[in-house]
Amino acid sequence: MRTAQQILADSAVIAVVGASRDPFKAAHGVPLQMQQYGWRIIPVNPTVDELFGERAYRTLADIPHPVDLVDVFRPAADAVQVVRDAAAIGAPAVWLQLGIVSAEARRIAEEAGMDYVEDRCLIVERAAANLTRLT
């Protein structure tokens, strides 16, 4: 199991389930900041066509290319299905944002052989390790 910082260091493409168009929500600001530090952000939100200059997808299954990490901005009750969907597309890691905890989601990720992080923030971990994908 990789650490949170190892997962970020190894990831280039992050699918963000629950990405928001509302600039006042963490589900907008966090992925935007990760993008500004060089990660490719793929928004997953069925109500928008584009976010962060990237095409938005209705579901993880709709993304036509591999992702390195699935970041979850959905309630814990929804995280279980998101982790199932992440396993179905072969994502190597899943990350539940700050305040999101699910024993069942963790179990599903572990059974699928996926790295799993919960109740932690991408931008906090990025900053703590001084990570960037910019060259």
CB contact burial 85-108 (16+ within 10 A = b; e otherwise): bbbeeebbbbbbbeebebeebbeb
pLDDT value, residue 135: 81
For residue 97, give both structure tokens.
Answer: 């944002």
- Model pTM greater than 0.85? yes
pLDDT tens track of the chain, all 135 residues?
899 999 999 999 999 999 999 999 999 999 999 999 999 999 999 999 999 999 999 999 999 999 999 999 999 999 999 999 999 999 999 999 999 999 999 999 999 999 999 999 999 999 999 999 998
Domain 14-129 is in which class? Answer: alpha beta
For residue 110, give both structure tokens.
Answer: 């572990």
Under 8 Å between Cβ of 5 and 20: no
